Structure 1
Amino acid sequence: MTVFLKEEIGKIKLSIPSTDTVLDPKPYTVYLLHVQLAVQFYVLKKRYSEFRILHEELLEVTGRVPPVEFPPKHYLLNVLSKPSIIEERRRKLETYVVTIQCVEDACWRLSPSWRQFLRLPVYAFEQHINLIDNSIIQCPDQPWIRMFHQTKLLLQEVKRDISRQRYSDSITTSQAVWTASMRDFSKVREILERLDQDLNDTNTGITIEERELWRRKDLLHDMKRECDFLEHIIYANKQIKHDMPLVAQSWQDHKQISLHNTSRIPETGRTRELNSIGLIHLQKDILAEQDEQLTSFLPILREQKDMAAAISDELDIQNDMLKELDESVQKTNIKLKFVKKKCEQLK
């Protein structure tokens, strides 16, 4: 593939040419974000609040303000009744996303929030990353973000290998695909451990906000769980290929093997003698019991609310009485001073 072709594949063009109004459940404006890739085009309907969340996440992840001002929120105006405001906001939002996509510093568009917001497919994001020169990346913790994205791409490759292994009709091909998937899977495990160590290492000199730190830990946790699930599938596929003839496996056979290998939930006294229909009725009865419990709590909550309101009223009355008492004391004090002066004059 030539350099020119790689650049064409990696290009992502964004625009917001128009808006639309959604009436259900209540009217609001959506901005039609056009995403043009090399081999794909799609339109995303985004609300202003979604753009605002993206802006806040980019600030948290990178710690830097994007190179273009984000359009402010109008708190006291009904935007739907002001087409001029909607049009102005559309132009500013378009300028915002286009500037981030085209600016030389790739710090913002390499963040996970940007990719999720645009719903970029794996191949497009991978080609886009390959176009970025590391010398212009200025975010201090950019290597972590880049490594995380590369790990996600590698995990996608493992998923493709699993699919190829499942539908391959040759022992040699199946074994080769299994070996490749296990090799990539081992790399993913190693990179995840390294990413986890980087997050827990305090000697790197890189400061990450606590909220962003926990978000990244959650991302790693989700990816580890996905790895565990894929590992189970890899070994299950290998066992199925080993035990069954190399023919097209029907869905019924696959379901029986899955049920045979899956550990069942322990039975209880209420479920041991029930069939599937009985279990459904039992679940409905349990839900009905929970509804009754909630219903029984409602009078108690109303009573507590009435008691709180009565206490509040009583406190207001007591405050008024204290104010009146304070005023009476002040008046009495003034009268006592006046009487004291009269007594001194009589002496």
Structure 2
Amino acid sequence: MSDIQDITIISTKTVEQPKVHTVYFIQISTPTRTWTVQRRYSDFVSLHAELKSSVGKEPPGTLPAKHWSLTGRLGDEKMIRERRVVLEQYLRLILTSKDASWRQAYGFKDFLSLPTTSSSSGPSTSSGSYSGPQTFTAQSWLLEHTALQSILRSARSSLLKRDALANMGDSVGSRSASVEAKRTLKDIDVRINVLEGALAGLNLGEGEKKRREEMMDSLKVERSGLGRMAEAGVRTNLGLGPSSAGFNRNQGPSSSSGFSSTASSAFAPPQGGHSSAGGSMNSIPGGWGSGPNSAIQSGRVFGSSTAARNQPPQETAETRPLDDRGLLQLQATKMTDQDDQLRELSKVLLRQKKMGEDIHGELAEQNDLLDEIESGVDKTGRKLGKAKRELNKLG
């Protein structure tokens, strides 16, 4: 963070979609590079709330007040210029504050799109921030592996929530989900390294040790894929076809989020990736190694957890008659149903938005009528005063 030399809002732009708002172009300069990010006012509000929540106290600066106007002032150049100055001052106060807690917060780094260094390059990375066990038994190792799988599922859920909220126009909620997913992925790196390092100290047979090494490879592949998915930005036009495996549902690059064709590699399994048995990523819906071509299968228990590895597999009435391809199709169908539910929710929100706009128009009309009545009352008052003065003269 100390490498940042300057933060400047260099320009603004009024955007019409998904609804009219102002975008602020923020330029960040370091000794080696300069880049620009686009943020709107609601992103600043989300950043302020995130900093207050993570640090536990108010940031050094204050945001400009949000203007609620029945006449609409989104295109008011004077207001935009004033707000631009205050927002730039807000960022600079955080950057130059003696208390570094705000600018070291993950939310601030993510807001400025600061490049992050991967902590998964070796087992010695930031081990001081890990408060869990450093040594494991054979059973506790499996429990920790299951816990890490659960965290990865939570991170994937946050990323999908980020995309869904962005498509519905909820930029604040989308950004909060993105920050939560990135924080989760950052925190899990140390635990993966510790778990991998502990594997060498376990007294296991050659076959079991090899199997757990494959489990770790799958876990790291899944973590890497989610990391690329998080860095790629919001995906739009979500869809899931029958041939889609897992969550690879990207239909094309999104110009609004800067999503390039190279980012699609974040959702594809790498060449030569391992597929593990038992507690592999097969138990994670959408994880690699869950397709019909997997080298090793651990049982066709849809949505199974590795914690139930020692229990007999239990089929359901829905999955029992299905083969591997049928299970993939069932997963695709369920994801499509969830997308349909999101679209229905979006329609409800759009109707509520339309109602709000109608109420806004009605209030504006009523205010105009009140202004006319007030003007008429003033005129009548002046006439009565004039008549009274004339009567006094006659009396």
Range into which the TM-score falls when normalised by the shorter chain = 0.3 to 0.5
Q: Which has the higher helix share?
A: 1
Q: TM-score, normalised by structure 2?
A: 0.40
